[in-house]
Structure 1
Amino acid sequence: MKNLSIALNVVLFVLVGILFYLHFSGPRSAAVPAGPRKAEAQNGTLKIAYVNIDSLEANYEYFKIKKGELEKQQASIERELNANAQALQKEVSDLQQKASTMTQSEGEAAQRSIVQKNRALQQKEQTLRQQFVEQQTRFNDELQKKLNDFLEQYNADKRYTYILSYSPGLSNILYKDEAYDITKEVIDGLNAASKNQK
């Protein structure tokens, strides 16, 4: 999820730069009117809303389910790798106890076997972790697509020029007016869309 937050913050940073350029390069006029969903620029065409990513992650059912599945899978991988490592360690310990009764060729064969098993375990760990990272990436991509698709439908009437992401402590938004927070509407819409897909 950190990758999603980082990607959203990079996009947000670029958008803030564009907004600063547009704001400071345009002609000066009267103050911007206040009120819900009236964050309009001087000419009345620029409207901005935001989605609180932390709230989205905490309340979007699809996200919570998928995140739970990924956490279970990660725990399963850790258990499997730990069990394999303990089994290999036990085998090494057993061989150390038998070492005094083994011939040199038996000892060398046992050592080669342990080295091969250790390499196989390292390869297995690398493969499992890589597969897990790929699943996380697919999940992040799928989540981003669901969010983008929903926001495209949600904003079909073009009421907002920009819909930004916000996350306390990780955001490039220096100030936010909660009147423009559309997080609950987005969460409700995404949850309803998920239920309709079942």
Structure 2
Amino acid sequence: MKKNIILSVALAAATTMGLVSCDKSSPKMDDKTPASAQKSGECAKIAYVEVDSIMTQYKFCKEYSKILETKGNNIQKTLATKQQQLQAAAANFQQKIQQNAYTREQAEAIQAGLQKQNNDLQVLNQRLSAEFQTETDNFNKALHDSLQHYLAFYNKDKKYSLIFSKQGDNLLYADKAYDITNEVVAGLNKAYKGKATADKAKK
């Protein structure tokens, strides 16, 4: 479950940012070039952000990842405990059956009770999983909004045309000169107030 959290969080961050290129050696313009760029003769400014650094250095991500990890572990423990209890009850039932300890009516009643416990466990599993997914979605949205808001503020002075994400090998080559990750992470942490909570992510 922890792995799913990380992948989900990384995916949300990856869809937030982007990178552009500029061929300074070629003065040619195709039909898709924006009119403003054709008039000015300027090429687009490029920049990229390392998504992994956002996930590991942005305080909000670190704090909320711990919240999700704790919640996920608690869910696993709850389900595992109830599963063990059910298995123990089922094993005890089978043992008593072999010892002819129950009448037919008693055996049928106990078996029905065990089946109900199993059904209840499945329902609980689905409910807790849905709650956890909702919590993760809330975090992803909060992270997305936080990044979008900060980058809009950051870019008022920087004037980048586009900012791309770099995660793993999704970019075949990226010159470190265009890496603004440290600036973005520092700005995010400076702008971040308080401590991450589940309630904050829902808003």
Asked whether the equivalents of residues 52 and 167 of structure 2 are also in contact (C-alpha less than 8 Å), the reply is: yes
Cα-Cα RMSD: 2.7
Deviation at 1:48, TM superposition (A): 1.4
- Count the aligned residue pairs: 178
Deviation at 1:97, TM superposition (A): 2.1
Amino acid at match of 1:98: K
SS at match of 2:47: strand
Q: Corresponding residue for 1:132?
A: 132
Amino acid at match of 2:113: S
SS at match of 2:192: helix
Map of 1:33-182 to 2, 5 A cutoff? 43-99=41-97, 100-157=100-157, 159-169=159-169, 171=170, 173-182=171-180
Amino acid at match of 2:8: N
Q: Corresponding residue for 1:3?
A: 8
Take 2:107 and 2:137, find their aligned partners in 1: how far apart are those partners?
A: 45
Q: 1:192 to 1:8 in 2, by over 3 A?
A: closer
Deviation at 1:6, TM superposition (A): 3.8
Amino acid at match of 1:183: T
TM-score by length of 1: 0.80
In structure 2, list runs of 5 or more residues that go unmatched.
1-5, 30-36, 196-203
Q: 1:128 to 1:6 in 2, by over 3 A?
A: same
Deviation at 1:105, TM superposition (A): 0.6
Take 1:8 and 1:75, find their aligned partners in 2: how far apart are those partners?
A: 23
Take 1:189 and 1:67, find their aligned partners in 2: how far apart are those partners?
A: 20
SS at match of 1:165: strand
SS at match of 1:189: helix
Take 1:94 and 1:46, find their aligned partners in 2: how far apart are those partners?
A: 72
The C-alpha deviation readout for 1:168-191, integer Å capped at 9, x for no partner, is 23x1x2221111111111111111
In structure 1, list runs of 5 or more residues that go unmatched.
30-39
Asked whether the equivalents of residues 96 and 102 of structure 2 are also in contact (C-alpha less than 8 Å), the reply is: yes
SS at match of 1:48: coil
Q: 1:151 to 1:11 in 2, by over 3 A?
A: closer
Percent of residue pairs identical = 33
1:193 paired with 2:198, answer no
Amino acid at match of 1:129: S
Take 1:134 and 1:163, find their aligned partners in 2: how far apart are those partners?
A: 29
The C-alpha deviation readout for 1:79-115, integer Å capped at 9, x for no partner, is 0100000011111112122221100011011111001
SS at match of 1:47: coil
The C-alpha deviation readout for 1:11-57, integer Å capped at 9, x for no partner, is 77xx77xx68x97xx9529xxxxxxxxxx999224111111001111
Deviation at 1:8, TM superposition (A): 5.7
TM-score by length of 2: 0.78
Take 2:92 and 2:110, find their aligned partners in 1: how far apart are those partners?
A: 11
